[in-house]
Amino acid sequence: MTARLRLNPDFDDAAHTVPVSLSERHPDTPHAVLPAAILAGETQVTGTTGESGEEETRANPLGVCDMFRVGIGPSSSHTVGPMRAGLHFATLLATRAPGARITSLRVDLFGSLAATGRGHNTDRAVLLGLSGYSPENVSIAVVDGMEAAIDSSGTLTVPGFEPTPFVRDRDIIFRPRDILPYHVNALTLRAWAGEELLAEHTYYSVGGGFVMEELGDPAEPRVAPLATEEQADAAQTAVPYPFFTAARLLELCSETGMRISELALANETALRPHQAVIAHMDRVHAVMGEAIKAGIATEGTLPGGLRVKRRAPGLARELEEKTAAGHRADQLEALGWVNLFALAINEENAAGHRIVTAPTNGAAGVVPAVLTYYERFVPGATRAGMYNFLLAGAAIGGIIKTNASIAGAEVGCQGEVGSASAMAAAGFAEALGGTPAQVENAAEIAMEHSLGLTCDPVGGLVQIPCIERNAMAAVKSINAAYIALWGDGSHTVSFDTVVETMRQTGMDMLSKYKETSEGGLAVNVVEC
């Protein structure tokens, strides 16, 4: 029996309405912006304030076009980021050494990228990038066949150059004990023409697919975020409502009368055309849905040696059969569908297939599971509600990334699944009509009860405990939103406080619990 996803008859999938018309709400912003990238919240905005006329420097907050991006599994920090680094290096070579004969290439992976790089397909990701592929658009057939193609030919082809001799075991160096000063996830790429070094560049994959490039000596780091041309263009404009803490976000909502999603959309449409923002959210929504369908339709065992069986197809059949038989479900049985949506996406992610970083790959199932629950099961769900969900969730995710981290290699899984849970709870509360205070409370509850989560993937694979953990977190997000909505938004612990607590907890956490597979379940579960 083929499982069919039920669509809530109240969900208006065709209506491409947006929360509000925002054109009249943009205040004058006579700021000039330095041409820096926005990928890691580093966009610098300069303007004059006060009677002294001294320049004030600040950054643009991260938004929906930053926190939700299409990529491939299994890891945003260990797969998507290194792939972007490889692609950047290929572009760098084409610029610096056009027409040169590349005779050798070398990839050095440091720290966590090396410790769990094989299980996370970091080596393959770099090769895909060097071959000219981007995580947003590469076909899964190319992904699955890349290593075999290189091994059979004995070469790697950088776009614009002749094939270069390449042996994976010789030319990719794993250095888990060598940690560069700036970040635990680092890689250095080199290319030679004979004895001449054509290019050498170091990159840091800092979580969520965000990448920083080294501008000088890695021993004395001086970095800048990678940015696409579109992102660099967006960095020329200051947003009307800058916020970097939840406290400031709530102040702005109170001052303007806006909901969180409205304010977030106002910032987004100051940086790029309105329809581009909507198109981005439409694609994110579509890829999330496609990943759920693919996960439900695909039987078998996940790659990597743990022999983890895909469970989404069987669960989908069971839920559909109960529905078809007129089974009278208890009120919590809808959570079976939430679990299904999360499992389906994370099984696709574990297989290295296309998903959306939300905010990371290891936590990619939480936000889509809760969003799909909203669409399928909440009466009155609308397309506008979906947009509101993503906008509010991204606002919360941006605050977390700015003030703490979303990288398991830095703060453990509390920064990945914990952040995703906070984003999903906030998005769900927003879609249900929550006030800004209630939305912030929902995010706080979800993050508070994710504190201390370790990142200890068995075998270095994004499978155990990652797949089930997404399902557990999705259910927690829904509960957090409802708890917040039962109140008036007032609460003792602020979201900013719990984010800082998460950061401190992550700094105190031993490295063996931060995506190195040297502690916890990774050493206590026997790989058979």
Residue 324 one-letter amino acid: A
Q: Which class in CATH covers the domain with range 76-227?
A: alpha beta
Mean pLDDT along residues 48-75: 72
Mean pLDDT along residues 71-76: 95
Residue 442 CA to residue 36 CA, distance in Å, equals 33
Q: How many CB atoms lie within 10 A of CB 137?
A: 10
Is the pLDDT score of 51 beyond 70? no
CA nearest to 120, candidates 68, 177, 81, 171: 81
pLDDT of 3 reads: 45
pLDDT digits (tens, 9 = 90+) for 463-477: 999 999 999 999 999
Mean pLDDT along residues 34-60: 38
CA nearest to 455, candidates 470, 446, 466, 441: 466
Is the pLDDT score of 178 beyond 60? yes
The overall average pLDDT reported for the chain is: 89
Phi, psi of 224 (to 5 degrees): -145, 150
129: left (phi over 0), alpha (psi -120 to 50) or beta: alpha
Architecture of domain 237-513: Orthogonal Bundle (1.10)
Answer for the pair 99, 501: CB distance below 8 angstroms, yes or no: no
Mean pLDDT along residues 412-424: 99
Mean pLDDT along residues 221-235: 78
Secondary structure E strands in 129-265: 155-156, 164-165, 172-175, 185-193, 196-207, 210-214, 223-225
Mean pLDDT along residues 216-237: 80
Residue 415 CA to residue 409 CA, distance in Å, equals 9
Is the pLDDT score of 334 beyond 90? no
pLDDT of 188 reads: 98
Mean pLDDT along residues 135-160: 96
Is the pLDDT score of 26 beyond 60? no
Is the pLDDT score of 185 beyond 70? yes
Residue 227: which pLDDT band, with cuts at 50, 70 and 90? confident
**What sign results for the dihedral spanned by CA atoms 313, 316, 317, 318?**
positive
CA nearest to 93, candidates 150, 166, 161, 154: 161
Domain range summary for the chain, segments of one domain joined by +: 76-227, 237-513
Residue 209 one-letter amino acid: G
pLDDT of 140 reads: 93
Burial class (CB in 10 A: 0-12, 13-18, 19+), 49: exposed
Q: Do domains 76-227 and 237-513 have the same CATH topology?
A: no
Is the pLDDT score of 5 beyond 70? no
Percent of the chain with pLDDT over 90: 81
Residue 348: which pLDDT band, with cuts at 50, 70 and 90? very high
Tally the C-alpha atoms within 13 A of residue 493's C-alpha that lie toward its C-beta: 16
- Helices vs. strands in the chain: H and E counts, helices first: 20, 13
Is the pLDDT score of 40 beyond 50? no
The b-or-e profile of 462-484 (16+ CB within 10 A means b, else e) is: bbbbbbbbbbebbbbbbbbbebb
